[in-house]
Chains A and B, each alone.
Chain A
Amino acid sequence: QVQLQESGPGLVKPSETLYLTCSVSGGSIRTYYWNWIRQPPGKGLEWIGYISFSGTTNYNPSLKSRVNISLDTSKNQFSLKLSSVTAADTAVYYCARGTPGETAMVTGGYFDYWGQGTLVTVSS
Protein backbone atom coordinates (compact mmCIF):
# COMPACT_ATOMS: atom_id res chain seq x y z
CA GLN A 1 0.00 0.00 0.00
CA VAL A 2 1.43 3.35 -1.05
CA GLN A 3 1.87 5.83 1.80
CA LEU A 4 2.95 9.46 1.72
CA GLN A 5 4.15 11.50 4.69
CA GLU A 6 4.83 15.22 4.76
CA SER A 7 7.47 16.72 7.03
CA GLY A 8 8.82 20.19 7.71
CA PRO A 9 8.50 23.25 9.93
CA GLY A 10 5.03 24.17 11.11
CA LEU A 11 5.87 27.85 11.46
CA VAL A 12 7.54 30.11 8.91
CA LYS A 13 8.16 33.85 9.17
CA PRO A 14 6.81 36.26 6.55
CA SER A 15 9.16 36.83 3.58
CA GLU A 16 11.07 33.62 4.34
CA THR A 17 11.05 30.32 2.44
CA LEU A 18 8.84 27.34 3.21
CA TYR A 19 10.44 23.90 2.83
CA LEU A 20 8.50 20.65 2.97
CA THR A 21 9.44 17.07 2.15
CA CYS A 22 7.21 14.16 1.23
CA SER A 23 8.45 10.62 1.89
CA VAL A 24 6.96 7.87 -0.24
CA SER A 25 6.77 4.26 0.92
CA GLY A 26 5.18 1.11 -0.44
CA GLY A 27 6.03 1.96 -4.02
CA SER A 28 8.70 3.40 -6.23
CA ILE A 29 9.03 7.10 -6.82
CA ARG A 30 10.53 6.32 -10.19
CA THR A 31 7.08 6.35 -11.82
CA TYR A 32 3.99 8.56 -11.58
CA TYR A 33 3.74 12.31 -10.94
CA TRP A 34 4.38 13.80 -7.52
CA ASN A 35 2.18 16.71 -6.48
CA TRP A 36 1.78 19.35 -3.82
CA ILE A 37 -1.72 20.62 -3.00
CA ARG A 38 -2.70 23.03 -0.23
CA GLN A 39 -5.82 24.00 1.68
CA PRO A 40 -6.10 27.23 3.69
CA PRO A 41 -8.01 26.78 6.95
CA GLY A 42 -11.73 26.47 6.24
CA LYS A 43 -11.25 26.85 2.49
CA GLY A 44 -10.94 24.72 -0.63
CA LEU A 45 -8.10 22.89 -2.34
CA GLU A 46 -5.42 24.56 -4.47
CA TRP A 47 -2.97 22.65 -6.66
CA ILE A 48 0.59 23.93 -6.35
CA GLY A 49 2.41 21.80 -8.90
CA TYR A 50 4.02 18.49 -9.76
CA ILE A 51 7.26 16.86 -10.71
CA SER A 52 7.28 13.83 -12.97
CA PHE A 53 9.40 10.74 -12.56
CA SER A 54 11.66 12.12 -15.30
CA GLY A 55 12.09 15.44 -13.50
CA THR A 56 9.69 17.55 -15.57
CA THR A 57 7.92 20.17 -13.48
CA ASN A 58 4.59 21.95 -13.92
CA TYR A 59 3.43 24.70 -11.58
CA ASN A 60 0.24 26.63 -10.89
CA PRO A 61 0.68 29.89 -12.82
CA SER A 62 -0.42 31.90 -9.79
CA LEU A 63 2.50 30.50 -7.75
CA LYS A 64 5.03 29.74 -10.45
CA SER A 65 7.42 32.60 -9.65
CA ARG A 66 7.82 31.38 -6.04
CA VAL A 67 7.67 27.58 -6.32
CA ASN A 68 10.24 24.88 -6.86
CA ILE A 69 9.56 21.13 -6.63
CA SER A 70 12.42 18.66 -6.66
CA LEU A 71 12.81 14.89 -6.58
CA ASP A 72 15.30 12.65 -4.76
CA THR A 73 14.88 9.15 -6.13
CA SER A 74 17.62 7.73 -3.90
CA LYS A 75 15.56 8.62 -0.81
CA ASN A 76 12.12 8.09 -2.37
CA GLN A 77 11.29 11.69 -1.51
CA PHE A 78 10.18 14.87 -3.21
CA SER A 79 10.26 18.40 -1.85
CA LEU A 80 8.51 21.75 -2.05
CA LYS A 81 10.16 25.14 -1.77
CA LEU A 82 7.90 28.22 -1.64
CA SER A 83 9.68 31.55 -1.32
CA SER A 84 8.64 34.97 -0.04
CA VAL A 85 5.74 33.60 1.99
CA THR A 86 2.96 35.74 3.42
CA ALA A 87 0.02 35.04 5.71
CA ALA A 88 -1.94 34.02 2.60
CA ASP A 89 0.32 30.95 2.33
CA THR A 90 -0.91 29.62 5.68
CA ALA A 91 -2.50 26.29 4.86
CA VAL A 92 -2.48 22.54 5.28
CA TYR A 93 -0.03 21.27 2.68
CA TYR A 94 -0.66 17.84 1.17
CA CYS A 95 1.58 15.74 -1.02
CA ALA A 96 -0.21 13.45 -3.45
CA ARG A 97 0.63 10.86 -6.06
CA GLY A 98 -0.63 11.56 -9.57
CA THR A 99 -1.44 8.75 -11.94
CA PRO A 100 -1.32 9.91 -15.55
CA GLY A 101 -4.21 9.71 -17.97
CA GLU A 102 -4.09 8.66 -21.57
CA THR A 103 -0.83 10.32 -22.42
CA ALA A 104 0.14 12.49 -19.47
CA MET A 105 -1.01 13.91 -16.18
CA VAL A 106 -2.86 16.77 -17.84
CA THR A 107 -4.93 14.41 -20.00
CA GLY A 108 -7.11 12.71 -17.43
CA GLY A 109 -4.56 12.25 -14.68
CA TYR A 110 -5.82 11.89 -11.12
CA PHE A 111 -4.61 12.16 -7.51
CA ASP A 112 -4.99 8.70 -6.02
CA TYR A 113 -2.88 8.71 -2.85
CA TRP A 114 -2.54 11.60 -0.43
CA GLY A 115 -0.45 12.29 2.64
CA GLN A 116 -2.08 13.20 5.95
CA GLY A 117 -1.23 16.85 5.45
CA THR A 118 0.84 19.26 7.51
CA LEU A 119 -0.25 22.67 8.74
CA VAL A 120 2.14 25.48 7.92
CA THR A 121 1.48 28.82 9.57
CA VAL A 122 3.13 31.98 8.31
CA SER A 123 3.56 34.36 11.20
CA SER A 124 6.23 36.43 12.88
Chain B
Amino acid sequence: SYELTQPASVSVSPGQTASLVCSGDKLGDKYVSWFQQKPGQSPVLVIYQDTKRPSGIPERFSGSNSGNTASLTISGTQAMDEADYYCQAWDSISALFGGGTHLTVL
Protein backbone atom coordinates (compact mmCIF):
# COMPACT_ATOMS: atom_id res chain seq x y z
CA SER B 1 0.00 0.00 0.00
CA TYR B 2 1.09 3.56 -0.63
CA GLU B 3 2.71 5.48 2.21
CA LEU B 4 3.72 9.05 2.91
CA THR B 5 6.75 9.42 5.15
CA GLN B 6 7.61 12.48 7.24
CA PRO B 7 10.39 12.99 9.79
CA ALA B 8 9.02 13.03 13.31
CA SER B 9 10.55 16.34 14.25
CA VAL B 10 12.34 19.38 12.86
CA SER B 11 13.86 22.31 14.74
CA VAL B 12 14.49 25.82 13.48
CA SER B 13 15.61 29.10 14.97
CA PRO B 14 13.29 32.10 14.82
CA GLY B 15 13.73 34.05 11.60
CA GLN B 16 15.36 31.14 9.80
CA THR B 17 13.90 28.94 7.06
CA ALA B 18 12.21 25.66 7.97
CA SER B 19 12.03 22.88 5.40
CA LEU B 20 9.62 20.04 6.03
CA VAL B 21 9.62 17.08 3.69
CA CYS B 22 7.18 14.36 2.74
CA SER B 23 8.27 11.37 0.70
CA GLY B 24 6.43 8.74 -1.31
CA ASP B 25 6.90 6.71 -4.45
CA LYS B 26 6.50 9.03 -7.47
CA LEU B 27 4.87 11.59 -5.18
CA GLY B 28 5.58 14.24 -7.79
CA ASP B 29 2.87 12.67 -9.93
CA LYS B 30 0.26 13.45 -7.30
CA TYR B 31 -1.05 16.67 -5.80
CA VAL B 32 0.00 17.30 -2.19
CA SER B 33 -1.69 19.33 0.53
CA TRP B 34 -0.14 20.47 3.80
CA PHE B 35 -1.93 21.04 7.10
CA GLN B 36 -0.82 22.85 10.26
CA GLN B 37 -2.20 21.63 13.58
CA LYS B 38 -1.60 23.31 16.91
CA PRO B 39 -2.35 21.57 20.22
CA GLY B 40 -6.05 21.17 20.86
CA GLN B 41 -7.01 22.69 17.50
CA SER B 42 -8.30 21.40 14.18
CA PRO B 43 -5.91 21.09 11.24
CA VAL B 44 -5.62 24.15 9.01
CA LEU B 45 -4.89 23.92 5.28
CA VAL B 46 -1.73 25.89 4.48
CA ILE B 47 -0.83 24.55 1.00
CA TYR B 48 -2.93 22.73 -1.59
CA GLN B 49 -2.20 21.34 -5.04
CA ASP B 50 1.54 21.41 -4.26
CA THR B 51 2.10 25.18 -4.34
CA LYS B 52 -1.13 27.11 -3.76
CA ARG B 53 -1.84 29.07 -0.61
CA PRO B 54 -5.41 29.48 0.68
CA SER B 55 -6.63 32.94 1.44
CA GLY B 56 -5.33 34.14 4.81
CA ILE B 57 -2.21 31.96 4.87
CA PRO B 58 0.95 34.08 5.15
CA GLU B 59 3.27 34.33 2.17
CA ARG B 60 6.10 32.81 4.20
CA PHE B 61 4.49 29.41 3.59
CA SER B 62 5.37 27.83 0.25
CA GLY B 63 5.32 24.37 -1.25
CA SER B 64 6.94 22.28 -3.95
CA ASN B 65 6.67 18.72 -5.21
CA SER B 66 8.95 16.77 -7.54
CA GLY B 67 10.20 13.24 -7.92
CA ASN B 68 9.59 11.36 -4.70
CA THR B 69 9.54 14.37 -2.36
CA ALA B 70 7.17 17.19 -1.52
CA SER B 71 8.37 20.08 0.62
CA LEU B 72 6.79 22.74 2.78
CA THR B 73 9.04 25.74 3.31
CA ILE B 74 8.46 28.34 5.98
CA SER B 75 10.58 31.45 5.43
CA GLY B 76 11.30 33.73 8.37
CA THR B 77 9.84 31.20 10.80
CA GLN B 78 7.99 32.69 13.75
CA ALA B 79 7.24 31.28 17.17
CA MET B 80 3.58 30.99 16.17
CA ASP B 81 4.57 28.48 13.47
CA GLU B 82 5.46 25.87 16.08
CA ALA B 83 2.98 23.07 15.38
CA ASP B 84 2.50 19.64 13.83
CA TYR B 85 2.48 19.57 10.05
CA TYR B 86 0.86 16.85 7.96
CA CYS B 87 1.20 16.18 4.25
CA GLN B 88 -1.68 14.56 2.36
CA ALA B 89 -2.17 13.08 -1.10
CA TRP B 90 -4.63 10.85 -2.92
CA ASP B 91 -3.62 7.30 -3.80
CA SER B 92 -6.10 6.08 -6.38
CA ILE B 93 -9.37 6.64 -4.51
CA SER B 94 -8.09 7.01 -0.95
CA ALA B 95 -6.81 10.05 0.88
CA LEU B 96 -3.56 9.39 2.73
CA PHE B 97 -1.82 11.44 5.39
CA GLY B 98 1.81 11.39 6.40
CA GLY B 99 2.61 10.65 10.02
CA GLY B 100 3.28 14.30 10.74
CA THR B 101 6.30 16.42 11.63
CA HIS B 102 6.51 18.43 14.83
CA LEU B 103 8.17 21.76 14.13
CA THR B 104 9.95 23.30 17.09
CA VAL B 105 10.94 26.95 16.91
CA LEU B 106 13.74 27.64 19.38
Q: Which residues of B contact A111 (CB under 8 A)?
A: 33, 35, 43, 45, 88
B90 pairs with A109, CB closer than 8 A: yes
Q: Which residues of A contact B98 (CB under 8 A)?
A: 44
B49 pairs with A116, CB closer than 8 A: no
Instruction: Count residues of B near A (Cβ-Cβ below 8 Å).
Output: 22
- B residues 69-106 near A (Cβ < 8 Å) are 86, 88, 90, 92-100
A72 within 8 A of B: no
A23 within 8 A of B: no
> For the complex, what is the distance from the CA of A98 to the CA of B93, rounded to whole Å?
14
> For the complex, what is the distance from the CA of A60 to the CA of B90, rounded to whole Å?
11
Q: Which range holds the interface residue count of chain A?
A: 20 to 34
B94 pairs with A108, CB closer than 8 A: no
- Most chain A C-beta atoms within 10 Å of own C-beta, residue among B92, B94, B97: B94
Within the complex, the shortest CB–CB distance from B27 to chain A, in Å, comes to 13
Chain B, Cβ-Cβ closest to A48: B95
Top 3 A-B residue pairs of the complex, sorted by shortest distance between their CB atoms: A108-B31, A47-B95, A110-B48
Can you list 17 A-B contacts with CB-CB less than 8 angstroms, sorted by A residue number? A35-B95, A44-B86, A45-B86, A46-B97, A47-B97, A58-B94, A60-B94, A105-B90, A106-B90, A110-B33, A110-B45, A110-B49, A111-B45, A112-B45, A112-B48, A112-B54, A114-B44
